[in-house]
Amino acid sequence: MAVLISAIVVLTGCVNATVDEMTFLEPTEGIGDRSVVILGRRHAPDYETEFEFIECVGDHIRTGDPSITVIGERQFLDTLYPWFEPRTAPLRTEDIDTLLKEAPVAKELSALKLEYMVWIDGTTVETNSSGSMTCGVGPGGAGCFGFGTWGKASDYEATIWGLSDKAEVGRIAANTSGQSYMPAVVVPIPIIAPVQGTACDSLGDQLLKYLSAQY
């Protein structure tokens, strides 16, 4: 039985990115020894904000300023179960007061020194695809021939809640799109547009500017 083995080289495609920011109440010297949690909104019937995207934004903030304490989403959800499950999670800043009236919630939030809660809503979707590719084994060896292309778009919005102020203190939106390609003349060469990664970096950079005293 013949086995087709192809070496694949990954290149990077181009991405278009737009970032919008609104700040209502900005901290003057970062958040000090307080903490922040980044959570994904998962109320929409047709999509869920990806756990890996939320983790990416948190890692971006930790790397940009190691002094900022970013609580992991899964850790937070487990600690505050069931108050932040999709069916019970607060949807408006007015719900903060209701949450804090729950003694177990108030106790845990105090122990975590939580200052900001960042809600991220959005997803990454494939927008189009075209082309074809065939691979096979012949007398001259193995190879692939063809060309494929596909597009992706990311649309995310981060809403920052200040627990001390019990209010929305900022909002950031990141929209990115890009086209990836897969030309193949014997060897497939993916040219990948890092659409979701660019959206993560864009939101992470803006959140760093808000949370860090270094920016």
C-alpha 38, offset from chain centre: 10
Q: Which of 51-55, 144-148, 164-168 has the highest mean pLDDT?
A: 51-55
* Domain limits, the chain: 11-211
Sign of CA dihedral 170, 57, 204, 157: negative
Q: For residue 13, what pLDDT is reported?
A: 65
CB atoms within 10 A of CB 103: 8
- Dump the DSSP string for 139-167: TTEEEEEEEEEEEEEEEEEEEEEETTTTE
Return all residues near 42 (Cβ < 8 A) that are at least 6 apart: 48, 49, 86
Phi-psi group of 10: left, alpha or beta (phi > 0 → left; psi -120 to 50 → alpha; rest → beta): beta
Looking at every residue in the chain, the average pLDDT score rounds to 87
Q: What is the C-alpha separation between 185 and 193, in angstroms, rounded?
A: 20
Q: For residue 1, what pLDDT is reported?
A: 33
In angstroms, the Cα distances linking 60 to 4, 109, 111, 148, 153 are: 39, 23, 24, 32, 20
Rounded mean pLDDT, 55-60: 98
Paired sense of beta strands 11-12 and 191-192, if any: parallel
Paired sense of beta strands 191-192 and 15-23, if any: unpaired
pLDDT tens digits, 70-113: 999 999 999 999 999 988 999 999 999 998 899 999 999 999 99
pLDDT tens digits, 177-199: 999 988 877 777 888 889 999 99
Q: What is the C-alpha separation between 177 and 21, in angstroms, rounded?
A: 18
Asked if residue 25 lies in contact with residue 170, where contact means CB atoms within 8 angstroms, the answer is yes
Q: In which band, very low, low, confident or very high, does the pLDDT at 30 lie, cut at 50, 70 and 90?
A: confident
Domain 11-211 architecture? 2-Layer Sandwich (3.30)
Can you list the pairs that 50-55 forms with residues at least 24 positions away whose Cβ atoms lie under 8 Å? 50/123, 50/124, 50/196, 53/120, 53/124, 53/156, 53/196, 53/199, 53/200, 54/120
